[in-house]
Structure 1
Amino acid sequence: MSDMTVSAGRRPRWGLFLPPILLLLLAAAWSGFWFYAASRAETAADAWRAQEAKSGRIYDCAKRSIAGFPFRFEVQCSGASVALVSQTASKTPFTAKLDNILVVGQIYDPKLVIAEFTAPATLTDGVTQTTFVVNWSKARSSVVGLPAIPDRASIVFDDPTINRLDGSVQVPLARAKSVELHGRLAEGSPSDHPVIETVMQIAQGSIQGVHPIFAEPFQADVRAKVTGLNDFAPKPWPQRFRELQAAGGHVEIVQSRIQQGEMIAVAAGTLGLSPNGRLDGELQMTVTGLERVIPALGIDKMLEEGVPQATLDRVAPGVKSQDLNSLFGALDRAVPGLGKVIKQNANAGVAAGINSIGTESVLEGKKARSFPLKFVDGAVVLGAIKVGQIPPLY
């Protein structure tokens, strides 16, 4: 009876080892899959770099490594550099160097890739040999849709600054609390006339060295749609712009809002390219606080000190500054003080002239003016006044 009990209580010992053996086999298979996928990722990255190089965009890493086992891939690129050889009309490269880039992808979600960038970055214009230093506290991007052409992409910078390098001194050019850029494929396909929707948002942005009015912090939110692209195939930007112009493509500003203090401006419209590669189109704008912009631009001070020729070339082509200043002097000689009175009242006249453009309106509960801002073969025209000139894109 006792022998039968002992025999019945015995179980095969191999059953105890089966779970760990299966676990080891699974771990070995998973490790093999991870390392195979990692090697494929490196091969795909090399193929992408070669394809981009044919279009004049040369990417490189001083040191590249892949980690993240077992559930994700972490591609580390130290000493990253980009040389844009044929992206502008000039064949002189525009180069950028970055300290480090970390790209992360999860095995269970291979179509989502997240990247983090380590500051600073240095940008060098090969034509002027001007160097810019870009800094930020945090920068990251995400791409959805890989390994195929992305469906959505975003990049966000916290506390970005741009400085121009003058010898060993960094001259401030621009800064912001945050800058965001988002894009998605709205219509079509990557290989057949894609339509792109984009959103750009800037918080507490400012630009130095252009005009004091731009140095004041502003908020910007611009939403646009780009049509007329043939495909997403890698190609130089001048070629892409020519294709867009030939196809009658354009950028539709669906909605934009810029606020600086009490001044608020909204705009919408369509911009295209002329055969010369310059901006053509029109934006319908509504602006509050326009009367504050005139003094901020310094028109009254400019008139009191004399009108520079460059300003006249912009707002009144063909008029010579010495002729206008001589006129003010002659008025003073004929009737003492008359020239000064005219100068002092000129700013009010300019403001009245701008306020006569367009129609009265209301924006966000405040009095405003609505008027068209036109782009004619690169010339920026406000009413009948030419206020700027934009260089060609190709």
Structure 2
Amino acid sequence: MDAYPPPQRRVSSLGWLVPALLVVIVAAGWSGFWFYAADRARTTIAGWMEREARSGRVYACGSQSLGGFPFRIEFRCNKAGAELAKTQPPLQLSAANILAAVQVYQPTLVIAEIQAPLTVADPGQPPAMTANWSLGRVSLRGTPRNPQRVSFAVDKMTLDRNGAASGKPERIFSADQAQLHGRMASGSAQDNPVIDIAGSLKAATAPSWHPLAAKPFDFDGDTRLVGLRNFQPKPWSARFREIQQADGRIEVRNVRLKQGDALAVASGSLKLTKQGYLDGDLTVTAVGIEKILPALGVEALARQGGSRNQRLGAALNLLDQMAPGAVASAVQLLGEQVELEGRRATKIPLRFKDGVATLGPVKLGQTPPLF
């Protein structure tokens, strides 16, 4: 007699249900959290724009949207514009597009990309200047009420002045890369902030500023502002006035400028007079200064009738033509001989007295007041 096969144990078809339910619950919870965070972001942006408008800075978008689900919150502003009514002079800015993103798990860090061109104009007037770049990035750490750090970086930047007599835009600045960083060193935005400001330029030119700046140069600077009461929205002229009234200072911790074979570094501390002029000393250590000293002598005060400097520059040029190397030897007598980055250099004082800048015996000219 055939034996019946043993009964087989039925495998439950519901074993997958528990993990599936867990996935659904987590996904639903995360979706709810994202939409809640997006709504809070929308409310924060609206509140920030309203506070800025009360301070005379009006921001607007041709169209705007929120996205980035599931891990980011992205804010896109097309045809972005800003009207800064309380700056001196008032300005109107516009950019093609701004995309800002915040990671849901890191809500105090905002990273944004700004699409060129950026135009600058007087309110109601055609653009006076146009800036272009291949990539523009901004990062903000902190909150709108308590910012901790801000950085701005652009690649392949150009700045043109519109409305030139020739009818074509005039190139006034260009750089392969430009960066500007600011951070709260101590204090807070509401109480005695100490601000660190650093910047850098790579392969920059600024021909309209000075003939020497028509050739590409690299710049790195690190400064600190001490004496601010707060960092509430206000013009920079008001901030510098606060520094003067508090007997504060501008600490130039390190500045490095390189152009071709010429190299210079500087450091020191500057204060402000009651009229807003720079006052103080910087120590400049330079390599190859004999190559630019004649140009400084010729050009520094030419637009101000600086005949003394013109004569000095012409004499230095003539001396260098008649006796090559003579200017370099004379420069060595102006200051202490030191070494800079493995090269022979000269240390020369750069003095500011009521805004008048003097490099050794060469009077560079009058700097503008900061307020």
Give the TM-score of the pair, scaled to structure 1: 0.80
Q: How much does 1:104 deviate?
A: 0.6
Secondary structure of 1:81's counterpart equals strand
1:110-164 CA-partner distances (Å, limit 9, x unpaired): 1211111111111125699771111111111222223652322222111111111
Secondary structure of 2:51's counterpart equals helix
Q: How does 1:1-394 map to 2 (within 5 A)?
A: 9=10, 17-88=17-88, 92-125=89-122, 131-146=128-143, 149-166=146-163, 169-296=168-295, 299=298, 310=303, 312-313=305-306, 315=308, 344=318, 356-394=333-371
Tell me which moved more, 188-197 or 244-253.
188-197
Gaps of 5+ in 1: 303-307, 325-339
Gaps of 5+ in 2: none
1:366-388 CA-partner distances (Å, limit 9, x unpaired): 33322221222222223454322
Contact 2:294 2:317 in 1 (8 A): no
Q: How many Å separate the matches in 1 of 2:356 and 2:53?
A: 35
Contact 2:294 2:316 in 1 (8 A): no
Secondary structure of 1:207's counterpart equals coil
- The amino acid across from 1:40 in the alignment is R
Q: How many Å separate the matches in 1 of 2:16 and 2:322?
A: 95
Structure 1 residues 9 and 219, CA gap change in structure 2 (3 angstroms): same
Secondary structure of 1:158's counterpart equals strand
Q: How much does 1:295 deviate?
A: 4.4
Q: How many Å separate the matches in 2 of 1:345 and 1:60?
A: 60
Structure 1 residues 348 and 250, CA gap change in structure 2 (3 angstroms): farther
Q: How many Å separate the matches in 2 of 1:25 and 1:127?
A: 54
Secondary structure of 2:347's counterpart equals strand
1:273-299 CA-partner distances (Å, limit 9, x unpaired): 211122222211111212211344584
Secondary structure of 1:151's counterpart equals strand
Structure 1 residues 14 and 130, CA gap change in structure 2 (3 angstroms): closer
Contact 1:314 1:386 in 2 (8 A): no
Tell me which moved more, 168-177 or 16-25.
16-25
Structure 1 residues 114 and 28, CA gap change in structure 2 (3 angstroms): same
- The amino acid across from 1:258 in the alignment is L
Secondary structure of 1:243's counterpart equals helix
Contact 1:145 1:151 in 2 (8 A): yes
Q: How many Å separate the matches in 1 of 2:195 and 2:302?
A: 42
Structure 1 residues 313 and 347, CA gap change in structure 2 (3 angstroms): farther
Aligned to 1:305: none
Q: How many Å separate the matches in 2 of 1:287 and 1:235?
A: 37
Report the number of matched residues: 360
Secondary structure of 2:205's counterpart equals strand
Structure 1 residues 217 and 309, CA gap change in structure 2 (3 angstroms): closer
Secondary structure of 2:109's counterpart equals strand
Q: With a CA cutoff of 8 Å and minimum separation of 6, indicate the structure with the bigger relative contact order.
A: 1
Contact 2:83 2:123 in 1 (8 A): no
1:31-74 CA-partner distances (Å, limit 9, x unpaired): 23222221211111121122222333222212111000111101
Structure 1 residues 34 and 280, CA gap change in structure 2 (3 angstroms): same
Tell me which moved more, 240-249 or 359-368.
359-368
Percent identical residues = 38
Structure 1 residues 374 and 85, CA gap change in structure 2 (3 angstroms): farther
Q: How many Å separate the matches in 1 of 2:367 and 2:86?
A: 21
Q: What is the root-mean-square deviation in Å for CA atoms of aligned residues?
A: 3.4
Q: How many Å separate the matches in 2 of 1:130 and 1:388?
A: 31
Give the TM-score of the pair, scaled to structure 2: 0.84
Structure 1 residues 159 and 342, CA gap change in structure 2 (3 angstroms): closer
Aligned to 1:332: none
Secondary structure of 1:35's counterpart equals helix
Q: How much does 1:210 deviate?
A: 3.5
Q: How much does 1:258 deviate?
A: 0.6
Q: How much does 1:272 deviate?
A: 2.2
- The amino acid across from 1:155 in the alignment is F
Contact 2:71 2:104 in 1 (8 A): yes
Aligned to 1:328: none
1:332-386 CA-partner distances (Å, limit 9, x unpaired): xxxxxxxx99995599899587665333333233333222212222222234543
Structure 1 residues 108 and 213, CA gap change in structure 2 (3 angstroms): same
Q: How many Å separate the matches in 2 of 1:16 and 1:385?
A: 85
Q: How many Å separate the matches in 1 of 2:305 and 2:66?
A: 59
Larger fraction in helix: 1
Secondary structure of 1:160's counterpart equals strand
Q: How many Å separate the matches in 2 of 1:249 and 1:341?
A: 41
Contact 1:160 1:176 in 2 (8 A): yes
Secondary structure of 2:275's counterpart equals coil
